[in-house]
């Protein structure tokens, strides 16, 4: 496995903990985190209680689940302690702000006060909105937008998703705090190691409810009710939201191509992660999405493995039977691995953060 020398497989199997926790339920996760990382959680709580924070840069391939891990930490420590800032969402918010006169004036005023660069604020916004295709948007402009989001978040631990975005921005990331005149917090690079086969399956089988827009996955994240279309011999998920009355969920156009539609982006993301792992003097966390099958029984509990779903249609009763099995794929080096659910990776994140922060 990649980075195995510096980051051996993280063990979440805990001596004396035999209970099977329900990781899809918030109360089940609360018990799980307490059992698996209760000591470390208390150390981090004390760290936050004393007014300390940090900046974590989330690095991972597209669809690696960067936002999911931050949401789990918010669930544990509270939204008053943890903030997730997505550069992509920040850019999209500019589009929305331009539609509102008050927001537009506030944004322009903030940028004129905080942005330093070779193009004007107005030209930068036009470039961002796509009105000016000739102007190259400078990194300093993006950083000023991110600074605005951090200012709005207040004194919290920041998980920054989407920066650095390219190789040119790696050097900016190393001095990000100084460049935006931010407080003297520790900065940590958090890389997510996920096999491309997992991303491929997430994309190919992704479905969304056309009414409430809730995402699910026919193979990896099923619903309580599954339908079957006899004419096409296809299974489909029915939305769990009571307000949607079992609406049929469907895939997005192009998702059936899987990772091939985002191949260039994946290769750039891989290059970025490898680049960060060559840097000296920076703190790094590695979150593994998968564990080799050969060591799975020694390092994780079986309920921590992502389930894979398949279906059978009973002609006699006209009902669908759901079959559950561990989700096993080959990683990018050809090693057979079990894909993990998000909570065990969050346990790894918490324990590595405690170690880096010296708690």
Structural domain boundaries in the chain: 26-81+156-356
Q: What tokens were used for 80? A: 């008053």
b/e code 88-103 from CB counts within 10 Å (16+ = b): eebbebbeebbeeeee
Q: What tokens were used for 11? A: 């063990």
* CB contact at 8 A, 303 and 340: no
For residue range 183-211, what is the model confidence (pLDDT) as tens digits? 678 889 899 999 999 999 998 999 999 99
b/e code 76-86 from CB counts within 10 Å (16+ = b): bbeeebbbbbb
| Whole-angstrom distance, CA of residue 301 vs CA of residue 309 | 19
| Whole-angstrom distance, CA of residue 322 vs CA of residue 324 | 7
| Whole-angstrom distance, CA of residue 329 vs CA of residue 345 | 18
| Whole-angstrom distance, CA of residue 202 vs CA of residue 31 | 28
Q: What tokens were used for 104? A: 């537009």
| Whole-angstrom distance, CA of residue 309 vs CA of residue 201 | 12
Could you confirm whether domain 26-81+156-356 is CATH 3.30.750? Answer: no
Enumerate the H helices of 164-235 as residue ranges: 168-174, 176-179, 196-204
Q: How far apart are the first and last CA of the chain?
A: 29
| pLDDT, tens digit only, all 359 positions of the chain | 566 667 778 899 998 899 999 998 889 999 999 999 999 999 999 999 999 999 898 988 888 888 889 999 999 999 999 999 988 888 888 888 888 888 888 988 998 998 888 888 888 888 887 765 666 677 888 888 888 888 888 889 999 888 777 777 777 677 776 665 666 788 898 999 999 999 999 989 999 999 988 888 999 989 989 999 999 999 999 998 889 999 999 987 767 777 888 888 888 888 888 888 888 888 899 999 999 999 999 999 999 999 999 999 999 998 999 999 999 999 989 999 999 999 999 999 999 999 999 99
Q: Identify the three-state secondary structure at position 263.
A: helix
Burial group, residue 152, by CB count within 10 angstroms (0-12, 13-18, 19+) = exposed
* CB contact at 8 A, 82 and 70: yes
Q: What tokens were used for 268? A: 């750039």
* CB contact at 8 A, 71 and 159: no
Number of other CB atoms surrounding residue 132 within 10 Å: 16
DSSP state of 256: G
pTM of whole model > 0.75? yes
| Whole-angstrom distance, CA of residue 38 vs CA of residue 335 | 32
What are the backbone dihedrals phi and psi of residue 323, each rounded to the nearest 5 degrees, phi first?
A: -110, 130
b/e code 192-219 from CB counts within 10 Å (16+ = b): bbbbbbbbbbbbbbbbbbeeeeeebbbb
* CB contact at 8 A, 193 and 287: yes
Residue positions counted in the chain: 359
């Amino acid at each position: 496995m990649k980075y195995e020398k510096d980051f051996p497989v993280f063990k979440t199997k805990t001596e004396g903990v035999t209970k099977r926790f329900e990781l899809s339920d918030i109360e089940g996760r609360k018990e799980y985190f307490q059992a698996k990382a209760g000591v470390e959680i208390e150390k981090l709580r004390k760290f936050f209680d004393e007014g300390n924070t940090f900046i974590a840069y989330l690095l991972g391939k597209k669809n690696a689940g960067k936002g999911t891990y931050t949401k789990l930490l918010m669930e544990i420590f509270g939204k008053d302690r943890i903030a997730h800032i997505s550069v992509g969402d920040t850019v999209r918010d500019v589009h929305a702000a331009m539609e509102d006169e008050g927001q537009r004036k506030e944004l322009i005023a903030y940028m004129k006060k905080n942005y330093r660069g070779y193009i004007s604020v107005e030209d930068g916004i036009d470039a961002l909105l796509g009105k000016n295709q000739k102007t190259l948007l400078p990194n300093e402009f993006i950083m000023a937008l991110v600074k605005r989001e951090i200012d709005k978040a207040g004194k919290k631990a920041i998980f920054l998703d989407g920066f650095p975005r390219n190789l040119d921005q790696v050097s900016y990331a190393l001095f990000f705090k100084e460049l935006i005149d931010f407080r003297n917090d520790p900065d940590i690079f958090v890389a997510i190691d996920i096999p491309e086969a997992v991303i491929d399956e997430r994309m190919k089988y992704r479905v969304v409810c056309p009414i409430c827009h809730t995402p699910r996955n026919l193979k990896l994240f099923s619903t309580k009710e599954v339908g079957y279309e006899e004419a096409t011999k296809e299974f489909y998920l029915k939305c769990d939201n009571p307000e949607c009355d079992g609406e049929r969920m469907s895939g997005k156009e192009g998702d059936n191509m899987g990772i091939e539609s985002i191949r260039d982006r994946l290769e750039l993301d891989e290059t970025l992660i490898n680049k960060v792992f060559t840097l000296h003097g920076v703190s790094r966390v590695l979150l593994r999405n998968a564990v080799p099958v050969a060591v799975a029984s020694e390092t994780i509990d079986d309920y921590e493995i992502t389930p894979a779903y398949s279906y059978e249609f009973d002609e006699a009763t006209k009902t669908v039977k759901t079959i559950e099995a561990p989700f096993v794929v080959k990683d990018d080096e050809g090693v057979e691995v079990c894909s993990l659910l998000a909570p065990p990776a969050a346990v790894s994140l918490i324990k590595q953060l405690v170690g880096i922060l010296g708690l």
